[in-house]
């Protein structure tokens, strides 16, 4: 007895991530068509059962769901432009990394052409796709997301963030900011430790343990930001600004560029100068706002 007919999915873009997404769809049994600008990236996918389209328009016409995973917003728009006449009736799930504002503009453009838009943010590397721990964020057209949620589950946990088309993108970019802050800190720390003659591998367990311990502070810091009450909890900004001076002095002595960490010292100094010396780190969040476009986020 055959099961229900599975609707065809098209994947546009077969870079490292697009190939992982297409593989996951095929592994989950979804009929899949693929397209890539440069031919020759689809051999393994074709072997696994993918149809390889010869043009963007052909690929878009083949799938009811379009999963887009290209380099950036500009490329995405240029590629979709070439298939504009056949977009009507399709759901476009754009997993390309991009800005919230560009996601909103793409959603409008697609809606004008009779297509539904769901913006996404992939919080995984290609080897994690379809594996436990893979998380993909989505926002935009709720009915389209619900319609395709079971299919999207092939990539990993599918987490819905609301109807603002840019909401997945802002979460994606904020999480990347947190990740780069951590990696930046690790890279700087490792440069210091190597300059002191210690192998990075010897230091790694120590820095991992320290960062893991510090992670426990984040929920309380978030609560402090939301309630705008910034207790120092034993670690005042005045004290931290003083130790940061030592950190920069040691970098000078070790011959290590302090460019990755100096902005944090500058922010600490500014906070102390503004009278926040006896408060905690969470107060710095308010100093970072510069008054750019900020949209309320519908659910």
Residues that bind ligand NDP (CB under 6 A): 13-18, 36-38, 41, 69-72, 75, 79, 96-97, 122, 125-126
Residues 73 and 55: beta-carbon distance below 8 Å: no
How near is the Cβ of 177 to ligand NDP at its closest, in Å?
A: 14
Residue facing ligand NDP at closest CB distance? 15
Distance separating alpha carbons of residues 29 and 44, to the nearest angstrom: 16
- Angle at the Cα of 25 (from 45 to 154), degrees rounded to 5? 145
Distance separating alpha carbons of residues 256 and 196, to the nearest angstrom: 10
79 vs 251, beta carbon nearer ligand NDP: 79
Q: How would you class 160 by CB atoms within 10 Å of its CB: exposed for 0-12, middle for 13-18, buried for 19 or more?
A: middle
182 vs 198, beta carbon nearer ligand NDP: 182
Name the residue among 245, 239, 296, 290 with its Cα closest to residue 266: 245
How near is the Cβ of 82 to ligand NDP at its closest, in Å?
A: 9
145 CB neighbour count, 10 Å cutoff: 21
Residues 73 and 98: beta-carbon distance below 8 Å: yes
Q: How would you class 194 by CB atoms within 10 Å of its CB: exposed for 0-12, middle for 13-18, buried for 19 or more?
A: middle
How near is the Cβ of 219 to ligand NDP at its closest, in Å?
A: 25
How near is the Cβ of 103 to ligand NDP at its closest, in Å?
A: 12
74 vs 112, beta carbon nearer ligand NDP: 74
15 vs 185, beta carbon nearer ligand NDP: 15
How near is the Cβ of 21 to ligand NDP at its closest, in Å?
A: 9
How near is the Cβ of 178 to ligand NDP at its closest, in Å?
A: 14
Distance separating alpha carbons of residues 58 and 281, to the nearest angstrom: 54
Distance separating alpha carbons of residues 148 and 83, to the nearest angstrom: 21
173 vs 217, beta carbon nearer ligand NDP: 173
168 vs 232, beta carbon nearer ligand NDP: 168
18 vs 156, beta carbon nearer ligand NDP: 18
Spatial CB neighbours of 255, under 8 Å, sequence gap ≥ 6: 195
DSSP string across 215-267: HTTHHHHHHHHHHT--B-TT--HHHHHHHHHHHHHHHHHHT---TTTHHHHHH
How near is the Cβ of 170 to ligand NDP at its closest, in Å?
A: 15
122 vs 144, beta carbon nearer ligand NDP: 122
How near is the Cβ of 96 to ligand NDP at its closest, in Å?
A: 4
Residue 52: how many CA atoms within 13 Å on its side-chain side?
15
Name the residue among 52, 167, 172 with its Cα closest to residue 117: 167
């Amino acid at each position: 007895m055959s099961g229900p007919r599975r609707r065809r999915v098209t994947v546009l873009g077969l870079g490292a991530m697009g190939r992982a997404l297409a593989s996951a769809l095929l592994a989950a049994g979804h009929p899949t068509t693929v397209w890539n600008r440069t031919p020759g990236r689809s051999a393994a996918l074709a072997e696994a059962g993918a149809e390889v389209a010869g043009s963007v328009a052909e690929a878009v016409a083949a799938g009811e769901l379009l999963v887009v995973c290209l380099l950036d917003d500009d490329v995405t728009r240029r590629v979709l432009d070439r298939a504009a006449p056949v977009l009507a009736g399709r759901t476009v799930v754009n997993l390309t990394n991009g800005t919230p504002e560009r996601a909103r503009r793409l959603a409008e453009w697609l809606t004008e052409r009779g297509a539904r838009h769901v913006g996404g943010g992939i919080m995984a590397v290609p080897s994690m796709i379809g594996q436990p721990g893979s998380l993909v964020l989505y926002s935009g057209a709720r009915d389209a997301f619900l319609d395709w949620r079971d299919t999207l589950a092939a990539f990993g946990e599918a987490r819905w963030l609301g109807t603002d088309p840019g909401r997945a993108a802002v979460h994606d970019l904020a999480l990347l900011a947190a990740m780069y802050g951590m990696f930046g800190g690790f890279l700087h720390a490792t440069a210091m430790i190597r300059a002191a003659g210690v192998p990075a591998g010897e230091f790694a367990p120590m820095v991992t343990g320290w960062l893991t311990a510090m992670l426990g502070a984040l929920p309380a810091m978030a609560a402090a930001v939301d309630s705008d009450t910034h207790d120092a909890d034993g670690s005042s900004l005045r004290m931290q600004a003083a130790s940061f001076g030592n950190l920069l002095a040691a970098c000078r002595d070790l011959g290590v560029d302090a460019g990755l960490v100096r902005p944090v010292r500058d922010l600490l100094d500014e906070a102390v100068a503004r009278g926040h010396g006896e408060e905690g780190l969470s107060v710095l969040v308010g100093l970072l706002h510069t008054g750019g476009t900020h949209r309320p986020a519908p659910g």
